[in-house]
Amino acid sequence: MLTLQRPIVDRRRRGAARTLLGGLVTLACGALLLVWMQGLDRAPATARAGVSAPEDPGFSPLDATADHEDLDPGRDGWESEVFSEAAGARLGELAKVLGEGGRTTPESLEPLLGLAFRCSDLRPDLLEDAYEKGGVSVRRGVIPGGEALILLHEGPAGLAGALEGLAAPWPPRATPRVRLKVIAVNRGDDGEWWTTVAFRVAASDATTSVQQSGTWFCRWGSRPGGEAVLRTLQVIAFDEVVRTTSGEPWFADCTQAVLGSNPSYADQLVPGIRAWSERLDRATGASFLGYEGVAVGDVDGDGLEDLYVCQVGGLPNRLFIQQPDGTALDATERSGADYVDPTHSALLCDLDGDGDQDLVVATDPITIHSNDGNGRFTLETTFDATIVYSMAAADIEGDGDLDLYLCRYSEAKDTAPLPYHDANNGPPNVFLRNEGGFTFTDATLSVGLDRNNRRFSFAAAWIDYDADGDADLYVANDYGRNNLYQNDRGRFVDVAGEAGVEDISAGMSVAWSDVDVDGDLDLYVGNMFSSAGNRIAYQRRFKQSADAGTRAEFQRHARGNSLFANRGDGTFEDVSEASGVTMALWSWASKFVDINNDGLEDIYVANGMVTNEDPGDL
């Protein structure tokens, strides 16, 4: 049964903290700014790059970064990673040239190239139209086969010409942003190195924006001193998106216009992660990895959606009430939910069936509040569950009451996932049955949701995927396989394996939609694309003692996001690579939304990782 506790936060302590900390912000505001950091996947070696954590329950993946010598691939005989760094440095020089607009001279390129260098067109001559509407055009390169037909350009002058061709659609006054990342590296029997490189460019001015992405295949040689030089460069995939002002923009950043009139916006939400990391004491429970979230709902019954913003420890959570003119006013002080405790997630939903949005806040423990209908919340009860990174509500039994599912991640900072690729040592998630009157019972065991329930869970979503009239549950787990709990009259069975959606990877988000418009719901899972993982996990010496299945699971772990098409018979087909949706970097959140109002739902992915002034420094 649920154990009732006194409120965890003393109101006087909260008030004092508000006075002391004055105006403070959250990393979750990245969601409000509508502009997300591009993913950087230079993760700690044991945490993200396909290396198993030691069999030591006291080990933290971050401990591996304490001694930088431990991260030297040369010390461990990983010649491929040593070469990857060398090749990456040369590609960085080429990216710098591209960042100058693609305008260069053969003389400036000569140091990067071998004597017999050849390359293909970097922007294919043949581009196939994939989309054209509202001033936006999408084209994909048609790549002819046969190296002899493709490698048309020779020497530094040839590469200079190919770079000019690539830059042809860029606005002339734009400063392009260029990324070249080595995502695969291998060595032939003849000692020749080759790499697969992910290529991305964004260039824009006041009238035109161009985005290019694709894949290059590079062969490498070396100079007598061992310095890597390019021998061949071949485009094997290419996409180009061009938007002009002839069409109305789909989105505009309205953050300042909506929130800017509130002092808390400038004082708390604008400064950014670095500013607060230098000012907040760790004793407050502050974390600066961006795990905090937001909740959206109409809390005052005026038909307009309002916003509850979760904060790191030491910063008060914020409630913004939307006004008829589209602005939002800070109503935190009167809300009764201005916690300064570490808050990992929040949920707005009608728990007592009175027609207004109640509030669940994932402090440690969970706090559950009733709403008076005007956005003022009263703490009704708490539940002892820690590190709840997301929550989902559904009426699983059809009794008219919304029940809660709590996704938990890790009880202790020094808990390492074991084994790394299929961890099963996380804290159990919790299912709370709503008994009415803000009374909740832990019914995890009685409804069957205790099976396969020791993962590192990031997200969950209720959906009736089998169209039998009740709510099923999909859970996305980090470091391993996911769960699909099928609901059978209030009892659940994990059918993820037989349905084909275990999706062993770094699960961080889940979204459902009928993407192929065949009448059933398809599944999209946000994971992690890791260039380091893709390079290492395919090396011959990687986990040589493991069986092929285990190696394949590690390789899958770094592939990226997944799209599963519902076959309508209880099983799903993995169409991720065929649909081109895997490469979305580190995908913390994903959502289906019809961005261009054409009746088809698109995918929006929030990605990124913590960085500093040096974009290469995690």
Question: Chain-wide mean pLDDT for the chain?
Answer: 84
pLDDT at 102: 56
Paired strand residues for 488 = 491
Task: Summarize pLDDT for 418-460 with one digit per residue, the tens.
Answer: 888 899 999 999 999 999 999 999 999 999 999 999 999 999 9
Task: Summarize pLDDT for 386-411 with one digit per residue, the tens.
Answer: 889 999 999 998 999 999 999 999 87
pLDDT at 100: 75
By C-alpha distance, which of 385, 425, 381 is closest to 406?
385
CB 384 within 8 A of CB 3: yes
Burial 374-403 (b: 16+ CB within 10 A, else e): ebbbebbbbbebbbbbbbbbbebbeeebbb
Confidence check: pLDDT of 312 > 80: yes
Q: Is 612 left (phi over 0), alpha (psi -120 to 50) or beta?
A: beta
Confidence check: pLDDT of 413 > 90: no
pLDDT at 32: 32
Task: Summarize pLDDT for 149-167 with one digit per residue, the tens.
Answer: 578 899 999 999 999 999 9
The CA distances from residue 247 to 243, 250, 600, in Å, are 8, 9, 19
Banded model confidence at residue 88, pLDDT cuts 50, 70, 90: very high
Residue 470 tokens read as 């009740």
Q: Which residue has the higher pLDDT, 225 or 212?
A: 212
The CA distances from residue 155 to 106, 159, 162, 194, 607, in Å, are 8, 6, 11, 18, 38
Banded model confidence at residue 143, pLDDT cuts 50, 70, 90: confident
By C-alpha distance, which of 256, 289, 294, 263 is closest to 24?
263
Distance (Å, whole) CA 168 – CA 135: 18
Q: Which residue has the higher pLDDT, 532 or 58?
A: 532
pLDDT at 146: 53
Q: Provide the residue type at 126 as one letter.
A: L
Counting residues of the chain whose pLDDT is more than 70, the rounded percentage is 84
pLDDT at 194: 93
**CB-side exposure of 499: number of CA atoms within 13 Å?**
26
Task: Summarize pLDDT for 47-83 with one digit per residue, the tens.
Answer: 223 333 323 333 233 333 344 455 677 677 788 888 8
Task: Summarize pLDDT for 259-279 with one digit per residue, the tens.
Answer: 999 999 999 999 877 788 788
pLDDT at 16: 33
Q: Which residue has the higher pLDDT, 330 or 96?
A: 330
Distance (Å, whole) CA 296 – CA 328: 13
